[in-house]
Amino acid sequence: MAKLVEYFDNDFIDLSIDNSINVNYHRTVEQTGKTIHVSLSIRQRVKHDMNSSARLFTYYIPETTETLVICQRIIEDIEKWKKRSNEIDAIGGYSGDIEIGKHSIIYSNRVFLYTETQLNENEILELGKTADKLNLYITVRSQNYVANRMKLEKPQAFISHDSRDKDLIARPLSKGLHSRLCFVWYDEFSLKVGDSLRESIESGIKEVKKCVLILTPNFLANPGWTKKEFNSIFTREMIFNERIILPIWYKVTKEDIYNYSPALADTVALIWPNNEDLSKDEYDKEVERLISKLHTEITKEKQ
């Protein structure tokens, strides 16, 4: 399941100024009655439109018992955040443009707050009073937002793999794509108790844009479900004249793939790195690069 912070990372991502801000407030400790000073680090993203020079503030607030107080502090200090944002200027345009007049940045009165802790009705009313006083339009996104987005978003790719390759490749690959809000059909994410395995797999293969084959010695030697999945995927390609297969190779050769399926050997593949040949940092970077390339292939529109 996607997380709220992943939606925050991916929403308004086109061109943004990202930083952390400290929100300060006082809290009374119930056990002692003493008032203590608290400083919480909050993620701030300023969305910047190059053409209009308009900016929009978004914030991610981690789980806390003081969500309302923090939300109020953030919007009460919005003028301070504007001044800080003004230190970075960005003007859209092209070579040969004639620029006339003085450039200024425009700020929307809309602010997005991503809160891990859901506000209750009374807290929403209180936040509304602060917003009205400051002439701001606040949108709060929390766990309800995640649940509703998940209902609307269908998997874009089907992950076909041998269960023995789950820990090394299939799970980190699926999580990496999910973190980019590219949802995939993957058994750990997509199957619920009581589901028909065959019907769920066939439905997944029919509905997605792409099918990712994790081709390993384990996959090629498996005569069971992986073979059935491959046959179903290959059949869809032939019947609908589509190119939906995105292969990933790990410790296999072109000859291995050809012996499994001559047609598959002609499809350009991504190569999963060998963790035995790389340091952990190098391996992690290579995996991230591969997931980014795969994400691009899955989400790009047909030419």
Distance CA 114, CA 62 (A): 8
φ/ψ (deg, to 5) at 62 = -65, 170
**Is the alpha carbon torsion for 222, 259, 200, 214 positive or negative?**
positive
Alpha-helical runs (H) found in 77-142: 78-85, 121-133
Asked whether the beta carbons of 153 and 183 are under 8 A apart, the reply is yes
Neighbouring C-alpha atoms within 13 Å toward the C-beta of 2: 28
* 229 is an active site residue: yes
Neighbouring C-alpha atoms within 13 Å toward the C-beta of 132: 6
Active-site residue, from 76, 199, 229, 237: 229
Distance CA 116, CA 71 (A): 12
- Which residue numbers are catalytic? 229
